[in-house]
Chain A
């Protein structure tokens, strides 16, 4: 087992897949020679050359249009949108083109492409460089949506996304880039559409995604240490497809659920989970599902404000404690 950072796992996954399949190409702004503004793609240009690892102009519509055109005509492109906030500049290509073309053509075409993007806050970049937009992507029919929380999952899920025949929006959480973790030796490919129970517990369950996973685990550990409350934590990992089997079975153990999400409260993925649980597990419910979210407000740059907005270990701990009281 090698230890890699979350950011190193990105390049590791891309390299693994580019070595395996020469149809895999990679494009984006400053991803090649500069190795990415988050240093996530260091070494790929040297290894695979300018035909397959390509710096682009600051032209998000052209980047995603090119990725789409190439995906439909034989390549398996990976495109980077530097900050997920910038999806707003090229959202047409994602929503109206990439997501819909297979359906609109009666299934004539497959769209094997991955759009990677740095998502989320915690780095004081302010409201246009800190949003968590996984809920935007989740609500569009035709997209798969992945957001890993560990280096091993980055590698395994990114590899799986690249091999997948459908368009995948792959969110890398900025605040996790420096996290270290063990990565299985050799080829590592995970499975989309699978959630993971990362901590066992019988008193309640927390569903979390990306940066909210380590915070939820910490909160759960403290709840057990301080109060003897045993809370399980499910890393949702894949919003589309959503692993409802794991989500429901974990819920049924306690009938008490909390969701912890970094995206803003309105129409966040937690609302969808809450609704699904209510519809499917109503007779197993002991408490209403409680959502712990970033408020419905643009993110601030100031440290103290941003820290208050994004769910913290303290807020998760306190909300679960009060909820189970």
Chain B
């Protein structure tokens, strides 16, 4: 299905808001990529660079009481759903002031006050958990929806079939968003995945759409339809958003990979589809803002990121004495 491309419906302010939200993710990820490479962060860091239009296009129209779950590449979803930059960065730095007190780390950022159930280290796990959040919302009748973000690799986990079946059967207000970035770690899509992912909704009778995940407006419009469907009690939608992962699977992968799994030319060619400059161009051409406006936003975001890093660096590490069972049991 294609979108109408009717971006004129968005006010200048809204368009700049989308731009700001995408750019925030980009700048945070660039920073964390540098920090990770320099060895300043605990554990593995998976960057969302190149996929920002998906997270922002969807989360920008969710309420705080709508739920999202995501995957190991979850910083972008966290920020897009309104998670705080400082609390995210401090968490990835493994500090006590992080959103999860440093217990979670990069792969487990969560903020329940913002409806962020959490990133997840287990590929595919968020799919069934979101189904449960949507079930609770349905029984509650509060109109909330659940959105599960996962990758093309995760689509090969059997749990997707379980969740599509049960959520269609029960008409759950849930949206499954597969961000097809072309890779399952270092395996290109075609080597591990047969057919189209969106098509996997067909046998269950679930709604499904394949979209250009690099086009924020197209994502937004598709998500609007899926959210309407969910809130109207019409059940789930499987969205396959085609996008591309600009960075490696994990920061620093060149240090342990023996060969290359994608060519320089491919990466360069795909980077031309970068959602952020494309969106900037659209704003400028529509006369909805000036280059100076965009530059100002970039400067503000850059300052926000610097502030978050300073906050994290100044923050203490978690106190080993404060590791009571209270964090495990209520």
Distance in angstroms from B286 CB to nearest chain A CB is 39
Tell whether, in the assembled complex, residue A25 and residue B139 are in contact, meaning their CB atoms are under 8 Å apart.
yes
Which listed residue (A61, A97, A102) contacts B329, Cβ 8 A?
Answer: A102
Tell whether, in the assembled complex, residue A62 and residue B131 are in contact, meaning their CB atoms are under 8 Å apart.
yes
- Report Cα–Cα, A96/B45, bound state, in Å: 19
Instruction: State which of A72-80, A170-178, A214-222, A270-278 sits at the interface with chain B.
Output: A72-80
Distance in angstroms from A32 CB to nearest chain B CB is 13
Tell whether, in the assembled complex, residue B163 and residue A106 are in contact, meaning their CB atoms are under 8 Å apart.
no
Tell whether, in the assembled complex, residue B162 and residue A103 are in contact, meaning their CB atoms are under 8 Å apart.
no
What sequence of 0s and 1s flags, for each residue 52-68 of chain A, a beta carbon within 8 Å of any chain B beta carbon? 10001101011011111
Q: Is A186 an interface position by the 8 A CB rule?
A: no
Tell whether, in the assembled complex, residue A65 and residue B131 are in contact, meaning their CB atoms are under 8 Å apart.
yes
Tell whether, in the assembled complex, residue B108 and residue A105 are in contact, meaning their CB atoms are under 8 Å apart.
yes
Tell whether, in the assembled complex, residue B327 and residue A69 are in contact, meaning their CB atoms are under 8 Å apart.
no
> Which residue in chain B gives the minimum CB-CB distance to A110?
B330
Number of A-B contacts (CB under 8 A): 141
Q: Is A93 an interface position by the 8 A CB rule?
A: yes
On whether A72 and B117 interact (CB within 8 A), knowing A61-B162, A62-B159, A102-B327, the answer reads yes
Q: Is B99 an interface position by the 8 A CB rule?
A: yes
Tell whether, in the assembled complex, residue B166 and residue A105 are in contact, meaning their CB atoms are under 8 Å apart.
no
Tell whether, in the assembled complex, residue A105 and residue B132 are in contact, meaning their CB atoms are under 8 Å apart.
no
Return chain B residues, CB-CB under 8 Å to A166: 329-330
What sequence of 0s and 1s flags, for each residue 97-124 of chain A, a beta carbon within 8 Å of any chain B beta carbon? 1000111111111111000000000000
On whether A141 and B328 interact (CB within 8 A), knowing A51-B139, A72-B117, A105-B112, the answer reads yes
Tell whether, in the assembled complex, residue A61 and residue B158 are in contact, meaning their CB atoms are under 8 Å apart.
yes
Q: Is B169 an interface position by the 8 A CB rule?
A: yes
A-side interface residues, number (CB < 8 Å): 42
Which listed residue (B120, B122, B327) contacts A107, Cβ 8 A?
Answer: B327
- Report Cα–Cα, A25/B146, bound state, in Å: 19
In the A-B complex, the 9 residue pairs with the smallest Cβ-Cβ separation, listed nearest first, are A65-B128, A69-B132, A106-B101, A59-B162, A165-B330, A66-B132, A62-B162, A69-B133, A106-B100
**What are 17 A-B contacts with C-beta separation under 8 Å?**
A52-B139, A57-B169, A59-B163, A61-B159, A61-B162, A62-B165, A64-B128, A65-B125, A68-B128, A70-B133, A70-B139, A93-B128, A96-B125, A104-B108, A107-B327, A111-B330, A165-B330
- B residues at A contact (CB < 8 Å): 67, 69, 98-104, 108, 110-112, 117-118, 120-122, 125, 127-137, 139-140, 146, 158-159, 162-163, 165-166, 169, 326-330
- A residues at B contact (CB < 8 Å): 25, 51-52, 56-57, 59, 61-62, 64-75, 77, 92-93, 96-97, 101-112, 141-142, 144, 165-166
